[in-house]
Amino acid sequence: SQQGEEDPQALSIQEGENATMNCSYKTSINNLQWYRQNSGRGLVHLILIRSNEREKHSGRLRVTLDTSKKSSSLLITASRAADTASYFCATDGETTDSWGKLQFGAGTQVVVTP
Amino acid sequence: DTGVSQDPRHKITKRGQNVTFRCDPISEHNRLYWYRQTLGQGPEFLTYFQNEAQLEKSRLLSDRFSAERPKGSFSTLEIQRTEQGDSAMYLCASSLDWGEQFFGPGTRLTVL
C-alpha cells in the first residue's frame, strides 16, 4: 500500500501561473521528498525536507511540511510548459529499519499550457 | 553520462518466459534500490542492497523474483515465469549511504 496521497490527482494551468499540490501521509517520517517524472521516464529528485524543518525553497519551488497534520505542499511559481510532468511525494520512515525504502504517493499530473 | 543507467529500456516477452534487467548505479554509491511502478501509480519499493548485501525484500517480491549485486557494483533483477501482472516499469536508484536517491530511466516490461 502507498504511504502518501497527492491532491489533486490532476492540475491544468497556464504558463506563468502558480501550481500547488498537496501530499498527506500516514506514519511518522524522517524526511519527505518530492520527485518529478516526465512521461515514461525516470524520476528526478526535486527537494528534500526533514521532519524538523517547516519550509524549504529551491529556485521556483517551495515546499512546506506540517508533521502535526502529516501533510506537505509543493508550490511551483511562475510555471513553464517544461514543468508539465507528474509530481510525487515520497516519505522516508522514522525508524532506521525503514530508511531508504521510499514510499510514494500516486502523484499529481500537472499540465502547463502555453 | 555518470547517472544511473538501466538496460534494456523496453522488454516485451511472452508469459512464462524469464527476463533479466540490469542496473548500473552511480559509481561511488554504495546503496542500490529497485522499485516497480504500474500505470498511474507511484513507485513501490521492491528491494535494496548495501554494497553486495541484499538487506531487505518487500513482500511484493514473490519467489519468482530474484536480485543480485555481485561485487557491489551493478545489479540484476530476474523475473522467472513471467505473468501478465508483472507488466510494469522497473526502476533502479542508487544513493551514497542514506542520501538522495538518484533514479535511472527505468525498464518497461510488457508481458503478453
pLDDT per position as a tens digit, A27-70? 889 899 999 999 878 899 999 999 999 999 999 999 999 999 99
Q: Is the Cβ pair B48, A100 closer than 8 Å?
A: yes
Query: Rounded to a whole number, what is the distance in Å from the CA of B91 to chain A's nearest CA?
Result: 7
Confidence of residue A5 (pLDDT cuts 50, 70, 90): confident
Beta strands B19-24 and B5-7 are: antiparallel
Beta strands B107-111 and B10-13 are: parallel
pLDDT at A2: 54
Q: Which residues on neighbouring strands pair with residue A14, listed in sequence order?
A: A113
pLDDT at A93: 81
- Looking at the partner chain, which of A41, A105, A106 has a beta carbon nearest the beta carbon of B105? A41
pLDDT per position as a tens digit, B50-68? 999 988 888 878 899 999 9
- Looking at the partner chain, which of B45, B101, B105 has a beta carbon nearest the beta carbon of A103? B45
Instruction: Give dist(CA B25, CA B50) in Å, integer.
Output: 12
Cell 491532491, located at residue: A7
Helix (H, G, I), strand (E, B) or coil at A83: helix
CB atoms within 10 A of CB B78: 13
CB atoms within 10 A of CB A44: 13
Instruction: Give dist(CA A99, CA A73) in Å, integer.
Output: 22
Using 70 as the pLDDT threshold, list the residues of chain B that sit under it. 1-2
pLDDT at A3: 66
What residue of B is the nearest CA neighbor of A42? B105
Q: Is the Cβ pair A43, B44 closer than 8 Å?
A: no
pLDDT at B1: 53
**CB < 8 Å to B33, chain A:** 100-102
Residues in B lying within 8 Å of A, measured between beta carbons: 4, 31, 33, 35, 40-45, 48, 56, 58, 89, 91, 93, 95, 98, 100-106, 108
Residues 6+ apart with CB under 8 A from B26: B2, B3, B4, B94, B96, B102
Instruction: Check: CB of residue B20 under 8 Å from CB of residue A83.
Output: no
